Amino acid sequence: MVLSFLQPVGFYISLSGTDPREAFIHTFMLQLAVISNHLNGRDTHVRQIKIYGPRPNPVPQQSFQFTSREFITYSCVR
């Protein structure tokens, strides 16, 4: 998923939808990149980012189960 903002002032990205499979993303890496400054080169500052990790009651239709120790180790945010 790639999101681009032309003139960000503040934003909140919610992934909740009507389909439970769209309410979360399975990922092992999240990259936040500020490609260029805005407003004539003034510095861009990321003041806060919140990432909420594993749900206490995952969706029962989860299509996979981790079996290797390496994947289980990195399957949650600490």
Q: Cβ neighbours of residue 21 under 8 Å, at least 6 residues apart?
A: 59, 61
DSSP 47-72: ---------SS--TT------SHHHH
CA distances from 45 to 5, 14, 17 (A): 14, 21, 29
pLDDT tens string 37-58: 766 667 767 777 777 666 555 5
DSSP classification of residue 18: S
- In whole angstroms, how large is the CA radius of gyration of the chain? 16
Give me the pLDDT at residue 74, please: 65
pLDDT tens string 1-42: 666 666 666 656 655 556 655 666 667 777 777 777 766 667
Give me the pLDDT at residue 14, please: 59
Give me the pLDDT at residue 67, please: 73
pLDDT beyond 70 at 78: no
